[in-house]
């Protein structure tokens, strides 16, 4: 409310210094103040309602100790929501109202917050849940991934790792095998690292590659450790290398950010995939159908023949097709001549 008072005082001083020729501007400012007061009153009513909800939750926590954990989580979520709304008020006052002309009502005020605080913190960092959708360009697929602040480097499931050279640099080719599918990925080699195996003190060497990923609207090239994760719940894990300075993690939420690739290939985490498979659901049904249609469109057939010529476009040029038909005709004539000579003998 202090910010509102400051804004009102500043506007009042400006109005006092205005001359008679600025009456229209003064009226516009007064209209803005009136509209802003209405918005503030509406927000205050909402905050009063939230305070009542928080008070009720507190009393329930004190009355029933057996459900303290659940109620405390609800209380925390209410406080987070209250914090986001308070920050939205500050943004609204700082950014100022925007005017919108309407034919019926004249000049009215339209207030828009600077950010969506369900997706972003006040300082501009993106909010992630414990699980998020991560698109990997080299695999052309989206993964249900675990966000792990305890891991330094991200990791992706990899089998059949092979080394090859591209433009004089070392690259790795590996297979992502999950959800009963196999996708072959190629990525530039970065370095070797040592990681500790699960339930073991032994360190093993693992290669690290660079992959291009996208979470919501944020894209980055980041390092991934190649490791066989087929026995783990998530085929992909996001570590601090990608998270630092860009994201904050709220483990009480999941899939906060939108999926970057809505209609592409989707790899589910193991339990979700098992559940879908048990119910006979194919999460990639539309993707598979589109792939079949695309492959069918690649097959070419000459107009005068039902022979499938495959995907070789050169064999389907008119001149080449005509030459093939001419050769076939000559071969038929030669065979007929041979048969006639054989009968005469």
- What local confidence, expressed as pLDDT, does residue 90 receive? 59
**Percentage of the chain lying above the pLDDT 90 cut:** 41
- Domain boundaries along the sequence of the chain: 2-110, 127-287, 299-345
At 294 the pLDDT is 84
Across residues 13-38, what is the average pLDDT? 65
Query: According to the model, what pLDDT value does residue 225 have?
Result: 95
Contacting residues for 269 by C-beta, under 8 A, at least 6 apart: 131, 144, 146, 233, 234, 235
Q: Are 36 and 1 in contact (CB under 8 A)?
A: no
Q: Where are the beta strands (DSSP E) in the chain?
A: 98-102, 106-110, 126-128, 131-136, 141-147, 154-157, 159-166, 169-178, 181-196, 203-215, 218-227, 236-238, 247-249, 265-267
Q: How many CA atoms lie within 13 A of 58 on its CB side?
A: 7
322-328 mean pLDDT: 67
**DSSP 3-state assignment of 223?**
strand
The mean per-residue pLDDT over the stretch 20-34 comes to 70
Q: What is the pLDDT of residues 40-80, one digit of tens each?
A: 777 767 667 776 776 666 666 665 565 676 677 677 667 66
pLDDT tens digits, residue range 251-279? Answer: 999 999 999 998 899 999 999 999 999 99
Structure tokens at 271: 């339990």
Q: What is the pLDDT of residues 117-130, one digit of tens each?
A: 788 887 788 999 99
CA 68, CA 72: separation in Å to the nearest integer?
6
Mean pLDDT of 122-143: 93
What tokens does 303 get?
A: 């107009």
Is the pLDDT at 220 greater than 60? The verdict is yes
Q: For residue 21, what pLDDT band results from cuts at 50, 70 and 90?
A: low
- What letters, b where the CB count within 10 A reaches 16 and e where it falls short, cover 85-124? eebbbebbbeeebeeeeeeeeeeebebeeeeebeebbeee
Task: Determine the pLDDT at residue 152.
Answer: 92
Q: What Cα–Cα distance (Å) separates residue 284 from each residue in 99, 156, 254, 268?
A: 46, 20, 21, 10
- 127-287, CATH topology level: Cathepsin D, subunit A; domain 1 (2.40.70)
């Amino acid at each position: 409310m202090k910010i509102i008072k400051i804004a009102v005082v500043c506007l009042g001083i400006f109005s006092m210094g205005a001359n008679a020729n600025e009456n229209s501007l003064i009226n516009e400012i007064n209209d803005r103040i009136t509209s802003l007061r209405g918005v503030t009153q509406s927000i205050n009513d909402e905050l009063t309602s939230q305070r009542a909800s928080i008070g009720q939750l507190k009393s329930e926590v004190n009355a029933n100790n057996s459900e303290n954990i659940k109620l405390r989580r609800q209380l925390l979520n209410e406080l987070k929501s209250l914090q986001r709304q308070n920050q939205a008020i500050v943004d609204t006052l700082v950014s100022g109202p925007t005017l919108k002309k309407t034919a019926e009502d004249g000049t009215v005020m339209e207030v828009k917050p600077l950010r969506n605080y369900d997706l972003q913190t006040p300082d501009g960092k993106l909010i992630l849940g414990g699980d998020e959708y991560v698109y990997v360009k080299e695999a052309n697929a989206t993964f249900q991934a675990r966000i792990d602040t305890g891991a330094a480097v991200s990791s992706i499931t990899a089998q059949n790792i092979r080394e090859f050279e591209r433009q004089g640099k070392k690259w790795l080719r590996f297979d992502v095998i999950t959800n009963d599918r196999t996708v072959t990925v190629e990525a530039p080699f970065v370095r070797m690292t040592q990681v500790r195996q699960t339930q073991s003190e032994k360190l093993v060497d693992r290669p690290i590659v660079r992959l291009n990923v996208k979470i919501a609207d944020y894209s980055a090239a980041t390092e991934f450790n190649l490791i066989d994760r087929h026995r783990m719940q998530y085929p992909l894990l996001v570590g601090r290398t990608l998270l630092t300075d860009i994201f904050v993690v709220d483990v009480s939420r999941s899939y906060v950010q939108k999926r970057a690739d809505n209609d592409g290939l989707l790899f589910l985490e193991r339990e979700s995939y098992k559940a879908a498979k048990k119910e006979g659901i194919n999460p990639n049904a539309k993707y598979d159908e589109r792939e079949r249609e695309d492959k069918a469109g690649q097959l070419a057939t000459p107009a005068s023949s039902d022979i499938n010529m495959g995907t070789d476009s050169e064999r389907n040029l008119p001149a080449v097709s005509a030459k093939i038909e001419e050769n076939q005709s000559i071969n038929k004539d030669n065979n007929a001549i041979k048969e006639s000579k054989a009968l005469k003998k």
